[in-house]
Structure 1
């Protein structure tokens, strides 16, 4: 049995509509794939910029912290150097004072030792 021409035309029309719909759906999927790809690139770019920004901020914070530590260490070292210098000057003064006070006694001791028969 042959189908009637009207039924064939209707069936062809429905098949054409389905094929057309599938074609449009495929185009939409391709378009979505392109958009998703672009979004991935955009997101990746933004993430990289944020990473770079955060890396710069961390570096600046580390530099400031290091400078603070160095400054504190320098200040402490200078304070200790002044104390050592002060202590050294006091000891030197004490040594000079001891030498001065014992000088005459030492001279007398040396002279008496030399002059002893």
Structure 2
């Protein structure tokens, strides 16, 4: 009888251990599922953040490029005005030289034509 009681106690302890192990396995499965869900959520959030940062970087690059273009355009316009101004000054100087030498040139041509 003592053996039967010991067997029942041993069976009862084994059943408790098996139930505990089964509960632990269920808890681990549940945790694995939650970890998987958390990974998906973090991955989704990371992708959204990457997209947001990429958009911000693109906007910053566009603004910088527009600024550089505007500065280059302003410099080019200044250079064009300077070139036009220098050209106009040289043209005026050339006209003045032609005007100052015109009478002399006419006299020279006339005297060359009229020479026997």
TM over 0.5: yes
- For structure 2, the residue ranges without an aligned partner over 5 or more in a row are none
Residue 26 of structure 2 corresponds to which residue in structure 1? 27
Shift of 1:32: 0.6
Shift of 1:73: 0.6
Residue 102 of structure 1 corresponds to which residue in structure 2? 101
Alignment partners' CA distance in 2, 1:79 and 1:87: 12
Shift of 1:91: 0.8
TM-score by length of 2: 0.94
Residue 58 of structure 2 corresponds to which residue in structure 1? 59
Alignment partners' CA distance in 1, 2:30 and 2:96: 98
Alignment partners' CA distance in 2, 1:48 and 1:61: 20
CA distances 1:40-90 after superposition (whole Å, capped 9, x unpaired): 111111111111111111111111111111101100110111111111111
Residue 5 of structure 1 corresponds to which residue in structure 2? 4
Residue 88 of structure 1 corresponds to which residue in structure 2? 87
TM-score by length of 1: 0.94
Alignment partners' CA distance in 2, 1:12 and 1:74: 91
Shift of 1:5: 1.6
The RMSD of aligned alpha carbons is 1.3
Alignment partners' CA distance in 1, 2:107 and 2:32: 109
- For structure 1, the residue ranges without an aligned partner over 5 or more in a row are none
Runs of 4+ more than 3 Å apart: none
